[in-house]
């Protein structure tokens, strides 16, 4: 155990959460501190740092309570490559394969769509850690229907590849491709980014709620968007 990890709490956190916390921590950080009735992962100076490995909706209540009085940074590990590790009920490894899905930075909007009103707050900062992970699964009959009863037991950090920081509202405009026509539709945005239209609609909805885009009209049945800054 490293000297840093000895000061890090583990309040029922996942292996991935704990590994990200240890990777990110600096010697003067404080861990698992109660602030305004909420337990904060890390405090660095005056900044509150929360590591959220999934489901930003679960973070909404805490952020709403804290963000008017404190600078808050959310650390989100976004999986680039993922290896699926199959295990038995006893924990023995049965096999391992690399997932065909490759994560993209634009995938962050799957989470941002849940808190667009909070992202634009001047006290909010987001740091995306592009990571490679292992996902441990067991065929125990308790998993979701689409996963055919296979449960995800844990996620483990393999490596941190790179980091992307977004501190100002305008920073999110980097997700719009260069040369995008104006006005544009969800379809033209999807084509420019090489993604599905429903994925583009997450981006436009989130950016509109952030005040970055506005609707200027319609083309046939599609909304037309322009940058509002």
Give the number of other CB atoms < 10 A from CB of residue 113. 17
User: In the structure encoding, which two tokens stand for residue 198, read together?
Assistant: 């429903």
Q: Supply the pLDDT for residue 1.
A: 33
**Residue range 212-220: mean pLDDT, rounded:** 95
What is residue 115's predicted lDDT score, i.e. its pLDDT? 96
Question: Could you tell me which residues come within 8 angstroms of residue 164 by beta carbon, excluding any fewer than 6 positions away?
Answer: 105, 127, 128, 130
Predicted local distance difference test score (pLDDT) of residue 126:
98
Q: What is the DSSP letter of 184?
A: B
- Identify the pLDDT of residue 142: 67
177 DSSP 8-state letter: P
pLDDT at 88: 82
CA neighbor of 75 nearest in space, from 15, 8, 29, 126? 126
**Which domains are delineated in the chain?**
5-167 (no CATH), 175-229 (1.10.10.10)
pTM (2 d.p.): 0.88
Measure the CA–CA gap between 66 and 61, rounded to whole angstroms: 9
- The 10s digit of each residue's pLDDT in 143-184 is 555 656 778 888 999 999 999 999 999 999 999 999 999 999
- In sequence order, the β-bridge partners of residue 27 are none
Q: Which of residues 105 and 2 earns the better pLDDT score?
A: 105
CA gap 54, 105 in Å, rounded = 15
Q: Report the chain's mean pLDDT, rounded to a whole number.
A: 90
pLDDT at 114 over 90: yes
Confidence label for 11 from pLDDT (cuts 50, 70 and 90) = very low
């Amino acid at each position: 155990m490293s000297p840093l990890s000895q000061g890090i709490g583990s309040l029922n956190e996942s292996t991935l959460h704990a590994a990200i916390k240890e990777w990110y921590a600096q010697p003067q950080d404080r861990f698992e501190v109660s602030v305004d009735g909420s337990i904060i992962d890390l405090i660095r100076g005056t900044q509150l740092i929360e590591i959220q490995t999934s489901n930003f909706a679960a973070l909404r209540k805490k952020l709403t309570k804290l963000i008017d009085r404190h600078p808050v940074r959310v650390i989100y590990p976004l999986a680039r490559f993922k290896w699926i590790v199959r295990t038995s009920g006893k924990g023995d490894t049965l096999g391992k394969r690399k997932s065909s899905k490759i994560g993209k930075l634009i995938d962050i909007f799957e989470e941002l769509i849940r808190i667009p009103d909070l992202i634009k707050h001047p006290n909010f900062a987001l740091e995306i850690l592009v990571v490679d992970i292992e996902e441990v699964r067991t065929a125990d009959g308790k998993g979701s229907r689409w996963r055919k009863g296979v449960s995800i037991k844990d996620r483990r950090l393999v490596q941190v590849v790179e980091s992307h920081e977004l501190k100002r509202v305008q920073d999110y405009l980097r997700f719009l491709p260069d040369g995008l026509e104006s006005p544009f539709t969800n379809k033209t945005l999807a084509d420019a980014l090489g993604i599905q239209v429903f994925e583009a609609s997450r981006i436009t909805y989130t950016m509109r709620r952030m005040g970055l885009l506005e609707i200027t009209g319609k083309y046939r049945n599609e909304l037309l968007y322009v940058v509002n800054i």
